[in-house]
Amino acid sequence: MKRFYNHRDTLVAEGIDGFLRSSTGHHLCRLDGHANIHVVLRRDWDKSKVAIISGGGSGHEPAHAGFVGKGMLTAAVCGALFASPNVDAILAAILEVTGDAGCLLIVKNYTGDRLNFGLAAEQARLLGKNVELVIVADDIALGRGPHARGIAGTVLVQKVAGYRAETRASLAEVKQAAADAIKGTVSLGLSLSDVNVYDPEHKTRLNEKEAELGLGIHGEPGTERISVDKLDVLVSKAADTLVRHLTDGQHVIMLNMLGAVPVLEAQAVVDALYRNSIADRIDFLIGPAPMMTSLDMYGFSLSAIPVRANFIEALQSPVEPWAWPGITPFRDLQTRPTPSLPETFTYQPSSDPYMRNLITRGAKVLIDNEKDLNALDAQIGDGDAGSTFAEASRVILKEIDRLPLASPKELCETLGRLLARNAGGSSGVLLSIMFATAGQEKSWRKGLEAGLERMHRYGGASAGDRTMLDALFPAIAALQNGNLDQAAKAAREGADATRAMPARAGRAAYVPKEQLKNIPDPGAEAIARLLEGISEIS
Catalytic residue numbers read 218
Q: Which residues of 433-445 are buried (b: 16+ CB within 10 A; e: fewer)?
A: bbbbbbbebeebe
- DSSP 8-state assignment for residue 401: G
Burial class (CB in 10 A: 0-12, 13-18, 19+), 265: middle
For residue 104, give Cα distances in angstroms to 51, 76, 77: 6, 12, 13
- Kindly give the residue spans of alpha helices, DSSP state H, lying in 108-259: 111-126, 153-166, 171-184, 231-243
For 7, residues 6+ apart whose C-beta sits below 8 A from its C-beta are none
Q: With beta carbons less than 8 A apart as the criterion, state whether 289 and 156 touch.
A: no
Q: Identify which of 194, 259, 219, 260 has the alpha carbon closest to the alpha carbon of residue 82.
A: 219
Q: In what order do the strands lie in the sheet with 251-257?
A: 224-227, 210-213, 186-191, 299-306, 251-257, 282-289, 327-329
d(CA 122, CA 115): 11
Count the Cβ atoms, other than its own, within 10 Å of residue 377: 24
Q: With beta carbons less than 8 A apart as the criterion, state whether 248 and 289 touch.
A: no
Number of H helices, E strands in the chain: 18, 13
Instruction: Tell me the one-letter amino acid at 300.
Output: F
For residue 3, give Cα distances in angstroms to 196, 259, 402: 11, 14, 52
The crossing angle, in degrees rounded to 10, of helices 469-481 and 522-535 is 30
d(CA 433, CA 239): 46
Sign of the torsion formed by the C-alpha atoms of 381, 384, 390 and 394: negative
Task: Please calculate the CA angle 314-320-324 and round it to the nearest 5 degrees.
Answer: 65
H or E stretch at 52? strand 51-58
H or E stretch at 327? strand 327-329
Q: With beta carbons less than 8 A apart as the criterion, state whether 69 and 27 touch.
A: yes
CA 453 to chain centre: 40
